[in-house]
Structure 1
């Protein structure tokens, strides 16, 4: 049909991938399953207002400027009973309260890719719904879609070594979202979809035993791993609006 738009769906990794997708003007879905993406989805489902902020800047100062609370590290905040990067730390007591959330991966990728037609937050928790919103936005804005698997960072990196550690949980989360997206898939996207379908019957077990899952369990955050491994349990679709996330349901009218 003349004039019909056919979108393409791609997979990228990490901060460089976020920058590449932003330079193309794509709609971007940030995926950081353990735990930035899952935390944003969970927090917004409870009515919290989340401002993403990169870890290389002074998030505490920024929080004071906008009248928000700065989210501390997992262990420190957990001891004080405050919301943390742990997604299960949010409940309805946090409704309508503003929080500044930093992370080495998801928040950083969000910051890098913020100037795009639309930036969404995806996870296993909201895979089908975030894909439904992205499909509508792609048609409305005539833009392709890139899913950015944020990955993790290697610790104790030596000279000449890469810092990005591809993360299995993000690959599976990206594959889940891509499986619900319309349009032509890149080869990388197709293979990640295959990995998701292969793993779908045992997502919880695989993520429990993957490197990131073991790291969190060793630190005492077993419940985070369980929570983030669930598929399609939230309707919540975070979309970046100016400098914070709002919840855009798949059935809501989408506007600029």
Structure 2
């Protein structure tokens, strides 16, 4: 029978089902989607924008209702998208709707499963800031690696870059760690000497390079480049209040 790791302070799981398992006993939930939702959120909020995670149909109507900009699905060459590089020019105060099949979907699942928990978006770029914020917000922390989707049936594909991102955060959190959390730290420690190379060798990284988005890997690999700890606010947007 599955155990929800409740004997430990810091726990780690995968995707929507991981949220469902860990959320009820969590004060803080950290969503990690390194390539690229969480990295996009860190880049955008670190520059003064707010980000509305979105999943499903009706993005255009949602965007209009929130007087926001809509990021294009995928990574088109023009405009804002799930490419972190495309968000470097977001103006301070921008409101961005960011559709995502992974990080946004898991964020919204966490909000449904634990409406009273604090939800943060973490990645390699803001690992130290997110860990510091989480440590001050509660003892029981769930770190959720979002993962990717297999083509065809859309089932969860564990993504090693998300394990490394989770480990970078967990390594700086106080309290006891579940075995799953310890494993994430071990992956991060093995990768930290060459994070750019690690991301380039990962399956998701190779895919982005083949599509011409190597610059996104470079941004995602910059450990602690951003001092923001984006928090999901009551209006459903991630924001960072300096």
The answer to whether TM tops 0.5 is yes
Count of matched residue positions in the alignment of Structure 1 and Structure 2: 232
Counterpart of 2:131 in structure 1 is 131
Counterpart of 2:20 in structure 1 is 19
Counterpart of 1:206 in structure 2 is 198
Distance in 2 (CA, whole Å) between partners of 1:171 and 1:183 is 19
Q: Is the 8 A contact 1:7 1:145 kept in 2?
A: no
Counterpart of 1:8 in structure 2 is 9
Counterpart of 1:253 in structure 2 is none
Q: Is the 8 A contact 2:44 2:90 kept in 1?
A: no
Counterpart of 2:83 in structure 1 is 86
Counterpart of 2:223 in structure 1 is 231
Residues 154 and 184 of structure 1: CA distance in aligned 2, closer, same or farther (over 3 Å): same
Q: Is the 8 A contact 1:30 1:147 kept in 2?
A: yes
SS at match of 2:136: helix
Q: Is the 8 A contact 2:43 2:84 kept in 1?
A: yes
**Under a length normalisation based on structure 2, what TM-score does the superposition of the two structures give?**
0.91
Q: Is the 8 A contact 1:7 1:182 kept in 2?
A: no
**Under a length normalisation based on structure 1, what TM-score does the superposition of the two structures give?**
0.86
Q: Is the 8 A contact 1:46 1:90 kept in 2?
A: no
Distance in 2 (CA, whole Å) between partners of 1:146 and 1:227 is 25
Distance in 1 (CA, whole Å) between partners of 2:165 and 2:210 is 22
Distance in 1 (CA, whole Å) between partners of 2:182 and 2:50 is 34
Distance in 1 (CA, whole Å) between partners of 2:200 and 2:184 is 19
Counterpart of 1:252 in structure 2 is none
SS at match of 2:42: helix
Counterpart of 1:254 in structure 2 is none
The Cα of 1:53 is off from its aligned counterpart by 1.3
Superposed structure 1 runs of 4+ greater than 3 Å apart: none
Q: Is the 8 A contact 2:20 2:110 kept in 1?
A: yes
Q: Is the 8 A contact 2:22 2:142 kept in 1?
A: yes
Deviations 1:222-255 (A, max 9, x none): 1001110111111011001111112145xxxxxx
**2:152 corresponds to 1:156:** yes
The Cα of 1:75 is off from its aligned counterpart by 3.6
